[in-house]
């Protein structure tokens, strides 16, 4: 039975992309287009003659290749979704190996030593004493149960593509990392400090960005979006004030404020021109390398004594 046309097209994209990654196949080489400035460059050219972008190792080139593999216009959002689910799987395995995580606790009660070793955010006094600031980043990839990750990933699936399409993949990654880390910093300071984890600080950062965008634009549609975002945010903070629900309003508030500020600073459009695109690429690389460095530090300190 033949595959539907859209799946044939998807497989062709994957084959072409993997040939580009590993240099295989018998396809005749063709001129390339610079992912930053759009200039046509030579077959064997490693750097664009117009803007100087490295065509093999730039974040723009990587984003384009990821788009081909994933089949999505929002590759960073997709990678974040995958990373969060992978870390949840690792957390779940560690919790079960320790004899915990049975019954309904898997829904919301995953925590303890496993999440601390994997990079949960700690109160400020512990971050300072242990000098483990990398936890402000690793914590945004950890979750405390199926309900926790389910709600957060559903929100990321809804908000991420819109913000990534608006700002571009590089600036989106920068916004996601900065707002999430700042949210955990606020959480570590506020009300005596918290043990905290989850992607919701970064997600509130995306909400803050969208609030800033809608405040700069007029029209009925923008007002409707802003009203919906404000209503949802108020409900979330109200739930956090209820003692029976473990919601970190400090992380949410920090992420929201950082996102709103970045939304005011950044032009609400894709980077335009060589200079803007180069700055966006630098910000994206900075955020991506920060994530990698923080996870490396987590692995290096994984077996450190907890007391």
Q: 301 pLDDT exceeds 90?
A: yes
Q: 243 pLDDT exceeds 70?
A: no
If you average pLDDT over every residue of the chain, what do you get? 84
Where residue 12 falls among pLDDT bands split at 50, 70, 90? low
| 75-300 has CATH 1.20.1540.10 classification | yes
Buried/exposed 239-271: b ≥16 CB within 10 Å, e otherwise: ebeeeeeebbbbbbbbbbbbbbbbbeebebeeb
Closest CA to 246 of 202, 207, 196, 206: 196
Catalytic-labelled residue, pool 148, 170, 200, 227: 200
Q: 101 pLDDT exceeds 70?
A: no
Q: 17 pLDDT exceeds 50?
A: no
Query: What does the alpha-carbon distance between residue 15 and residue 259 come to, in Å, rounded to a whole number?
Result: 38
Q: What percent of the chain has pLDDT over 90?
A: 56
Q: 34 pLDDT exceeds 90?
A: no
Q: What's the pLDDT score for residue 30? A: 62
Q: How far is CA 87 from the centre of its chain?
A: 13
* Catalytic residue status for 169: no
Catalytic-labelled residue, pool 143, 148, 194, 252: 252
* Catalytic residue status for 252: yes
Domain ranges of the chain: 5-70, 75-300
């Amino acid at each position: 039975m033949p595959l539907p046309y859209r799946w044939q097209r998807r497989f062709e994209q994957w084959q072409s992309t993997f040939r580009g990654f590993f240099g295989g196949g018998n396809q005749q080489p063709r001129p390339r287009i610079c992912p930053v400035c759009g200039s046509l460059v030579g077959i064997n050219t490693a750097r664009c003659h117009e803007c100087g972008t490295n065509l093999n190792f730039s974040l723009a080139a990587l984003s384009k290749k990821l788009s081909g593999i994933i089949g999505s216009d929002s590759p960073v959002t997709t990678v974040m979704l995958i990373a969060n689910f992978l870390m949840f799987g690792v957390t779940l395995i560690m919790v079960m190996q320790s004899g915990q995580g049975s019954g309904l606790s898997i829904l919301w009660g995953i925590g303890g030593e496993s999440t601390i070793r994997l990079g949960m955010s700690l109160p400020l006094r512990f971050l300072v004493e242990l000098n483990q600031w990398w936890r402000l980043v690793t914590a945004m990839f950890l979750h405390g149960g199926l309900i926790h990750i389910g709600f957060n990933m559903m929100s990321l699936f809804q908000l991420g593509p819109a913000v990534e399409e608006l700002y571009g993949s590089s600036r989106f990654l920068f916004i996601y990392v900065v707002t999430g880390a700042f949210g955990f910093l606020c959480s570590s300071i506020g009300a005596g400090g918290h043990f905290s984890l989850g992607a919701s600080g970064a997600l509130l950062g995306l909400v803050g960005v969208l609030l800033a965008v809608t405040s700069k634009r007029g029209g009925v549609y923008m007002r409707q979006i802003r009203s919906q975002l404000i209503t949802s945010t108020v409900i979330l903070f109200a739930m956090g004030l209820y003692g029976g629900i473990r919601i970190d309003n400090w992380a949410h508030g920090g992420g929201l404020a950082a996102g709103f500020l970045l939304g005011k600073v950044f032009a609400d459009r894709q980077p335009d021109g060589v200079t803007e695109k180069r700055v966006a690429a630098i910000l994206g690389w900075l955020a991506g390398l920060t994530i990698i460095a923080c996870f490396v530090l987590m692995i290096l300190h994984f077996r450190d004594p907890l007391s």
